[in-house]
Chains A and B, each alone.
Chain A
Amino acid sequence: EADIYQTPRYLVIGTGKKITLECSQTMGHDKMYWYQQDPGMELHLIHYSYGVNSTEKGDLSSESTVSRIRTEHFPLTLESARPSHTSQYLCASSQPGSSTTDTQYFGPGTRLTVL
């Protein structure tokens, strides 16, 4: 299993603030992902990275941005938070060839509330 960490676990913040959600993994996985999940709903991919200095947008339109300067670190930033950004954000990583299944392993998630 991958060891993947997200901070903070919970964040309540006012409209207009800049926030960064942290995601780190210690397994050396090349591929990392950000999903967004509204309460009781399915997850949707918002960003992914297939290696250092590579980032791509996912299906779900998001005003957030990401960076991948180091293999182990994949932070997500919102320049100006709005109530519509209230959601859970889950980070995941995978590595082709690390197992027969090439499974995505998830972090514990960050629950963001924007007032």
Chain B
Amino acid sequence: AQKITQTQPGMFVQEKEAVTLDCTYDTSDPSYGLFWYKQPSSGEMIFLIYQGSYDQQNATEGRYSLNFQKARKSANLVISASQLGDSAMYFCAMREFLMDSSYKLIFGSGTRLLVRP
């Protein structure tokens, strides 16, 4: 069975500094996709970044980048130049296919990030 592990329940970072949120995964499938979502206190899930298992380069999206280490089965999210609005819950997730190209996301337990002014 596929599994996502996030070992940091909570993190602090100073405004304008970079922070790394850890994510490790377990799967026996050679082809897989990894996602990071942000969930503010308002509750919606905001897609941040995606990494495919066959992607040659680490994904980047603005201030977000993914430190993808396939051999170690880790996909850590790096947020550069933290802003107060980055304070939120962050979830790492893996895709598991279901019927007819639909799929479910298997989520980790999340990391709550607090940005200090």
Contacts and interface: CB of A to CB of B under 8 A. Distances in A.
Interface residues of A, number: 33
Contacts of B29: none
B25 to A, nearest CB: 14
Interface string B40-83: 00111111001010000000000000000000000000000000
Contacts of A56: 98-99
Contacts of B109: 41-42
Given A48-B102, A50-B99, A56-B98, A103 B43 contact: no
B101 A31 contact: yes
Interface of A: 1, 31, 33, 35, 40-45, 48-51, 54, 56, 58-59, 88, 90, 92, 94, 96, 101-109, 111
The 6 closest A-B pairs by CB, nearest first: A42-B107, A106-B45, A101-B50, A50-B100, A50-B102, A45-B104
Given A50-B101, A107-B44, 19 more contacts: A1-B47, A40-B110, A41-B110, A43-B105, A48-B98, A50-B99, A54-B100, A59-B104, A101-B35, A101-B52, A102-B103, A103-B35, A103-B47, A104-B47, A104-B103, A104-B105, A105-B47, A108-B43, A109-B43
